[in-house]
Amino acid sequence: MPPMTAIRPISSSTIGVPADRLPAHIAIIMDGNGRWARARGLPRFAGHRAGAKVVTKITEDCSNLGIGQLTLYSFSTENWSRPADEVAMLMDLYVEFMREQRRQMMANNIRFAQIGRRDGLPPKVLDEMQISLDETKANTGMTLCLAINYGSRTEITDAVRQIAREVKQCALSPDAIDEKTIAERLYTAGMPDPDLLIRTAGEMRISNYLLWQISYAEFYVTDVFWPEFTREELHKALRNYAARNRRFGGLDESNA
């Protein structure tokens, strides 16, 4: 078993971004694994395996830079419609990933989190997921959150059902329901909303990902396929983000 490698924090200035201009939470739609593999005459799963290696590098770099949370769209509720053999291999890859990354997360004080429905996930995936959750829960560094069996409409539906149950039980008044009420019943309860949403492979859509949470996130889309997404590409996205003026519905004071 390879030795654990601790990540050495670096100053954000080394990538040309002031620390106060870094996003606290980055969400990524990792797209293009299949197209990357097809372009090389490889089976689709070769793209997924290559993409998993990129996850390791980008996680390390985000932790290195002091990013508070990284949330990765790993497997959507719609992905169950893919060929059964591809889904089975993806589940095996998750088990492998959890086992390999757990020691690295412990070595670098990274806390693991998961969002999405657990119903339907294979027991082996749930077992490894729970072990990672338990072993890293006391870590105080970056949170690595995997969205597995996740769909934002499903998430909002589940939240509405929970609110309806509480109203029916007279534990919650309909007049007391506000945005905070809903946010506290989403899978992401207690997590900060993403500041930056990155999508690879040039697709210009959200794909049912964190619809509530990205209301004021900055979008960054690159044509680069996920298996080719390097640290340099991440730094490019961070510099682009840092140059923007986030107004949250207000006025740009420089042009007021």
Q: Which residue in the list 79, 109, 208, 240 is annotated as catalytic? A: 79
Q: CB count, 10 Å around CB of 41?
A: 7
Helix, strand or coil, per DSSP, at residue 215: coil
- pLDDT value, residue 3: 46
* 209, pLDDT greater than 70: yes
Let me know if 109 is a catalytic residue.
Answer: no
Render pLDDT for 46-87 as a digit per residue (tens, 0 to 9).
Answer: 999 999 999 999 999 999 999 999 999 999 999 999 999 999
- The letter for the amino acid at 177 is I
* 163, pLDDT greater than 60: yes
CATH 2.160.10.10 fits 20-151+193-244, yes or no: no
Residue 171: pLDDT band (50, 70, 90) is very high
Q: How far apart are CA 151 and CA 108, in angstroms?
A: 29
- pLDDT value, residue 8: 56
Let me know if 31 is a catalytic residue.
Answer: yes
pTM for the whole structure: 0.91
- pLDDT value, residue 5: 53
Q: Which two tokens stand for residue 175?
A: 């007049």
Q: Give the C-alpha distances (Å, rounded to integers) separating 37 from 42, 45, 53, 87.
A: 5, 8, 14, 16
Average pLDDT, the chain: 93
Helix, strand or coil, per DSSP, at residue 28: strand
Number of residues written out for the chain: 256
- Element (DSSP H or E) covering residue 85: helix 84-107
* Residue extents of the structural domains in the chain: 20-151+193-244
Q: Which two tokens stand for residue 111?
A: 């806390």
Average pLDDT, stretch 135-149? 97
